[in-house]
A = this chain, B = another copy of it.
Amino acid sequence: MKPNLPQIKNLSIREQTLVTLREAILTGELKPGHSLIEMDLSRQLGVSRAPIREALRILNTEGLIETIPYHGTTVRRLTRTDIEEIYSMRSLLETFAVEQVIRARNPDHLRRLRDTVEDMILAGRDNNINTVNILDRDFHDALIEMSGHSLLISMWQTVAMKARQVMALVNRRNTDLTQIARNHLPLLDAMEGGDIPRASELLRAHIASAGDLVAEDWQSDSAAVGDGS
């Protein structure tokens, strides 16, 4: 009956520019301090400055770039304090979310989370670091989504973006991937048991340890770039 044709979506140039630039920043392709000149972007992307400017205003509001009037736009630099703040905020938001999810007592939710963790452990065995990272992100994103709190989700996206950027910039030390994955299991157990205080504490510790690890080998200049051209 329904041929199930792929949805045709004609994203505006502004939106395409936004996604492109944001992704480049979050993956570390565009490093902190890199200067973004509208005219250059215009030539590179083959579009006029108008949509680019609008995309830049959005990125600026999201806190990923900084603009000095009549002077230039650069990818925002990250200090160690920024990183600590990002992780403490993550902790706050996720702890809140986990509380909501536990109260909802939805078996589907827990099953979905457990599936994700199991996949993560498997990917860890294969030493597939990329998949582990993606599944880890999925897990935490899912946790927030399940709260059903749209404002929380929106604020989470902002923080999660910044966290992604930080992750891409640090040179990860080789940690035991299966261990990272397994760390999620006690949290799931606590959630299934409906033990909010314990789940909160486990999550807090989980994120704090991740944050400490990142903050530890953060040299402010490690990923910074002088000129950017």
Residues of A within 8 A of B (CB): 12, 14, 50, 53-54, 57-58, 60-63, 69, 81-82, 85-86, 88-89, 92-93, 96, 149-152, 154-155, 158-159, 162
Contacts and interface: CB of A to CB of B under 8 A. Distances in A.
A16 to B, nearest CB: 13
A-B pairs, 6 with minimum CB distance = A85-B151, A61-B61, A54-B57, A57-B57, A58-B61, A89-B151
Contact of A89 (B50, B57, B155, B158): B155
A85 B152 contact: yes
Given A50-B53, A88-B149, A155-B155, 8 more contacts: A14-B57, A53-B54, A54-B54, A54-B57, A57-B57, A85-B149, A85-B152, A89-B151
Given A54-B54, A57-B58, A61-B58, A158 B159 contact: no
Nearest to A63: B154
A131 B73 CA distance: 40
A55 to B, nearest CB: 8
Given A89-B152, A151-B82, A152-B89, A62 B63 contact: no
A12 B149 CA distance: 36
Given A61-B61, A155-B155, A85 B150 contact: yes
A203 to B, nearest CB: 15
Contacts of A85: 149-152
Q: Which of A63, A82, A85, A162 has the most CB of B within 10 A?
A: A85
Contacts of A89: 149, 151-152, 155
Contacts of A62: 61
A154 B61 CA distance: 10
A50 B81 CA distance: 36
Given A53-B54, A61-B62, A92-B92, A86 B155 contact: no
Nearest to A60: B58
Contact of A159 (B14, B58, B149, B151): B151
19 contacts: A12-B69, A50-B53, A53-B54, A54-B54, A57-B57, A58-B58, A58-B60, A61-B62, A82-B150, A82-B151, A85-B149, A85-B150, A85-B151, A86-B151, A88-B149, A89-B149, A89-B152, A89-B155, A92-B93
